[in-house]
Structure 1
């Protein structure tokens, strides 16, 4: 039967029994010690819980501070009126050294932003930046934006970004969009922010535009703030005829066919689909045939928008040049005022010194004259009264010279030239006039000290694996590994990873896919193709969706469970 038999020698029976008893005693002692430790800890449960709570709060504060240092963040002003002014804003996941900052603005009395423009121009990034920075501000996290920025506080934030089509749920691009939009309408209030990317797509452009405009009407009527991106001309026209709706375009250089990633307010943008298609590989002849299919009206509208963009770029360049000249003029004026103030102080110092010297001279002259009077008196001169009058006249002249009192002529009708009067510096209105009067040696002007560049903290993103094997693991063991792999793939910039769980009974596969369905960093997932593992593999598409997306998914899941 090929069975295995174990034989215990009789001489080892007693020793083996003793060993088992000792092991049992050891376990009993371990249990007693653990029970005693547990009892002691239970007596301090309140203090331990409080310590854990305080440490958790401190950890949160330090994490926010570290985040602010990494992103060079600032604390924005908050309001509940639904307006925002995010200056020089950047998406936190973009490299701050190379990312182009944008201005996200919505003034009081405005309700909707319609962002249009060329593909790859930054429309979706602007949408995500607004949603993510708004959530960060509401969580008390410093945002990557300029000082003085202002963010709005909302009770609910809805986001429809990316294609939600699903083979498993039998949803096309359009039907998925309709379902998402309908859920948003049902739950939107006057304190809601709605972000929708590429609205009205996946169907006839005219009908899609009509549905989108009706959707925006409903959101405006409810008092919600809305930001949408689109390429549809009808929606661009909608933004031009409603005063509370603002057209925003992503700037594009038609000469280089490159976006500048700046936002221009008050102007719709051209999509530049044909030039971009030629840049990305379409043959020129094919582009010409496509252009011929466009109607005359479409061509004129496209040329008009391109002309407006060029004009706007020229105006913006002139505005920037004007601001630069104004800054230089202000700096020069400030420097001139500082020099003038310094010169006036030097003049006042010289005047004070001159007055002291004049007083000393006057005092010496008075002493000498008094000696002369006494000498005259001692010799019995009879013209002492006349001499005394002459002395007083001379004293008045000396006083006028010392104190700068107005006088016509001194010493024989000639004007005296000498020390300046008090208030001398106030007689000159400009630095040039004062310099000509004083002719000082100004010396070398010191160059301004350039301020030090801000410190940067470099963070090395860990390498991410393109697949993870969880075959043979229990559900509780596999899910944390899958979550970690998704996080690393998201940070590493991977588009998709393979989760290899095997076929088996299907319990592990079902649990993993249920977990992926509500994961904030999962765009979608599909079973592997026959050459890629089949149903024993789940291909997960990673998407840099903001927290609002995962919140929306959880909300939809809860709504489905309640229904």
Structure 2
């Protein structure tokens, strides 16, 4: 990595990025990433990182494994070599990762991104994956399921081994042979079953000696009785090894036949892992995708240094290359000048590496041909370089190649030498860069450099803010304002006596004092403007909150209004149905009186019925006018009322026309708009100036029209004619539930006369329903026995 990039700590960022990868090979590749200075490449890489970030946000990051490099093994298999079990296991793990990535991307179907082509190029090989997974247990062992023949051979070995053990167990448990044995156990030597025999009893047990103990006291003898069986086991073991080699050869040949697509998939998987590692790091940094432009400039909004704790770092906003090509950053030591410079340079390099940057939305990164850095102390005893000499060597190198597309970052320009000569040299170097239109950020303490930035076009001052009250830096960068070094204030805080500081102030030249006073005045003005701006922003925020609150209250009032209207409609429907029900009762009473007109007490009954009807009508008017009465004052009518007078209802504060004079109970009829109402005489106020009354429809027609329209539109009748008993009852049950929810209290069920079965089923259901207050057959004109009228609770 170039020395300039290391000074900006790009290597540490790449180390941080590598920690978000899973594969060792991928980590190494990440550490070798280099910034690109080609705009198409940068835009492409940034877009892929952004798409990986979007997919991870929606579907989670796909699963990656620590896969090994399978390219070498795949090429060997392609050339006919047999691979080791370890190599085959690595290939199996890689194939599982390819399958997993393909399965993960299947959930993103329909979403086209710049990564789509990579996922679509992956070639899933389930057959080879399953073969390797099922066949290999470890890098030293194949599973019995690797082939039927291998399983059969191993079963034979197991049976014969068991038979040999049984025969040897009988031998070592025999009383006649136990005294010859060192231990009563069966062991193995050279893959053959043997027993440990004491050396002095060698001749007592005939067999083949395979080994001797370290002390020579024990011989491991294979009894002649099991030699043939051991030979058979040995032959089977040779067959087993041949079968294992055949299986490995077969799998290696299959790997070789797919070598090219697997090598291609391997490269794709590594690229995908790098892009998702960039996306994951961006998420941890709360980073954004910058806008990439071909102009050599940048505009960083609330940028944060990625290596500083995100809970402690202070965001900065820096711009370069648009309104000015050089930015001179000044301020006290430890005030954040170098960090600001490094932040800008590092974020430019991160973008050129295709990474997201820790800044706010709409931050812009332009394209530079090269980035040069002179930061830190590079003095060298071996090369006889002092601090100043090392800086000048570096700047000489930059001056040889820098042009209008170069980004140059200079920390403490021309420090470490005589201040007079150093400041003059710094101004001269900066002016040379300005003439070349190089993009420069430089930090300095020299007053002459600050003055140069004030006087020169295309050069701007910036300062790292310092709180003079607390004598602590705020780490905020203020563009357009030169900063003070505050050396006297800092020295006083660190223990330098006031006499020394006062003497030093006297030694400062008059011109420098005047400049410092101007800077201090500007700083004071800036702080006041900051406060005003902050206050205005707070007021604007408060105004916005109040506006939003009023809007919310208005929306709530609209909802409450709609709810109230819905309740009123429901109550109106209930009132109309109640009126209709009472009317039906009246008609029924009239019909009953008609049938009794021949009786002796007919006149008395008619009088009683009239009284009952009047009482019912009064009750209906009270029901239809359920408005809380206002407190009526002591008002005296100026004259007796006449039909046609314009009156005002005190409780409603509405005007209407008197239709009928007060009755015996002091109740009057008043027409208010399209509505008739009955009210007490005390509630009326005479309006002296008579208003022109509009022609009102007759009461009977209005009432009839309301009832007729409501009945037709609201569906208070249920027609179940032609249904079977159970079906009809189910319809009635649903109808009653609907009416209860709507606040309707009277319903009519049309079932017809017929055999009477449907009528009987309906009325039996109504008797049991707890929500039915009463029911009756239809009256004359209603359908009589063909309908049932029910009153709901």
Superposition TM-score, scaled by structure 1 size:
0.55
Contact 2:298 2:364 in 1 (8 A): yes
Between the aligned partners of 1:325 and 1:311, the Cα distance in structure 2 is 21
Partner of 2:378: 164
- Give the number of aligned pairs: 358
SS class of match (2:478):
strand
Partner of 1:322: 536
Q: Give how far 1:162 is off.
A: 1.1
1:122 paired to 2:341? no
Between the aligned partners of 2:390 and 2:674, the Cα distance in structure 1 is 97
Partner of 2:505: 291
For residues 485-524 of structure 1, the aligned pairs below 5 Å read none
Partner of 1:339: 553
Between the aligned partners of 2:300 and 2:672, the Cα distance in structure 1 is 69
Between the aligned partners of 1:339 and 1:213, the Cα distance in structure 2 is 62
1:80 paired to 2:279? no
Partner of 2:33: none
Cα offsets for 1:303-346 (capped at 9, x unmatched)? 33234323323332332232123212211211111111221343
Between the aligned partners of 1:37 and 1:174, the Cα distance in structure 2 is 69
SS class of match (1:147):
coil
Between the aligned partners of 2:421 and 2:517, the Cα distance in structure 1 is 25
Between the aligned partners of 2:674 and 2:556, the Cα distance in structure 1 is 28
Q: Give how far 1:281 is off.
A: 4.0
Return closer, same or farther for 1:281/1:45 CA change in 2, 3 Å cut-off: farther
Partner of 2:679: none
Between the aligned partners of 2:500 and 2:266, the Cα distance in structure 1 is 67
Cα offsets for 1:201-232 (capped at 9, x unmatched)? 23333333333333333323333221111111
Cα offsets for 1:357-406 (capped at 9, x unmatched)? 779989989xx9xx9xxxxxxxxxxxxxxxxxxxxx99x9666569xxxx
Return closer, same or farther for 1:47/1:348 CA change in 2, 3 Å cut-off: closer
Between the aligned partners of 2:382 and 2:417, the Cα distance in structure 1 is 21
SS class of match (2:266):
helix
Between the aligned partners of 1:169 and 1:77, the Cα distance in structure 2 is 43
SS class of match (1:226):
strand
Partner of 1:211: 425
Between the aligned partners of 2:471 and 2:439, the Cα distance in structure 1 is 32
Return closer, same or farther for 1:228/1:350 CA change in 2, 3 Å cut-off: same
Contact 1:74 1:144 in 2 (8 A): yes
Partner of 1:15: none
Residue number among 117, 123, 143 corresponding to 2:357 in the alignment: 143
Q: Give how far 1:278 is off.
A: 3.0
Residue number among 442, 445, 460 corresponding to 1:246 in the alignment: 460
Contact 1:206 1:234 in 2 (8 A): no
Return closer, same or farther for 1:219/1:334 CA change in 2, 3 Å cut-off: same
Superposition TM-score, scaled by structure 2 size:
0.40
Partner of 1:105: 319
1:95 paired to 2:309? yes
SS class of match (2:292):
strand
Q: Give how far 1:238 is off.
A: 1.5
Cα offsets for 1:119-146 (capped at 9, x unmatched)? 1100000000000011112222121222
Between the aligned partners of 1:37 and 1:334, the Cα distance in structure 2 is 73
Partner of 1:55: 269
Contact 1:362 1:399 in 2 (8 A): no
Return closer, same or farther for 1:50/1:108 CA change in 2, 3 Å cut-off: same
Between the aligned partners of 1:327 and 1:113, the Cα distance in structure 2 is 33
Return closer, same or farther for 1:330/1:401 CA change in 2, 3 Å cut-off: farther
Find the structure with the greater CA-based Rg.
2
Return closer, same or farther for 1:361/1:39 CA change in 2, 3 Å cut-off: closer
1:64 paired to 2:249? no
User: RMSD of the TM alignment (CA)?
Assistant: 4.0
| Structure 2 unaligned regions, length at least 5 | 1-241, 587-657, 660-669, 677-683, 692-793
Cα offsets for 1:417-463 (capped at 9, x unmatched)? xxxxxxxxxxxxxxxxxxxxxxxxxxxxxxxxxxxxxxxxxxxxxxx
Contact 1:154 1:192 in 2 (8 A): yes
For residues 519-530 of structure 1, the aligned pairs below 5 Å read none
Return closer, same or farther for 1:36/1:357 CA change in 2, 3 Å cut-off: closer
Q: Give how far 1:181 is off.
A: 1.8
SS class of match (2:511):
helix
SS class of match (1:251):
strand
For residues 353-392 of structure 1, the aligned pairs below 5 Å read none
Contact 1:86 1:150 in 2 (8 A): yes
Partner of 1:268: 482
1:197 paired to 2:373? no
Return closer, same or farther for 1:317/1:411 CA change in 2, 3 Å cut-off: closer
SS class of match (1:100):
coil
Cα offsets for 1:23-64 (capped at 9, x unmatched)? xxxxxx9xx99x989996776553443233123212312321
| Structure 1 unaligned regions, length at least 5 | 1-28, 372-392, 403-409, 417-563
Between the aligned partners of 1:348 and 1:70, the Cα distance in structure 2 is 48
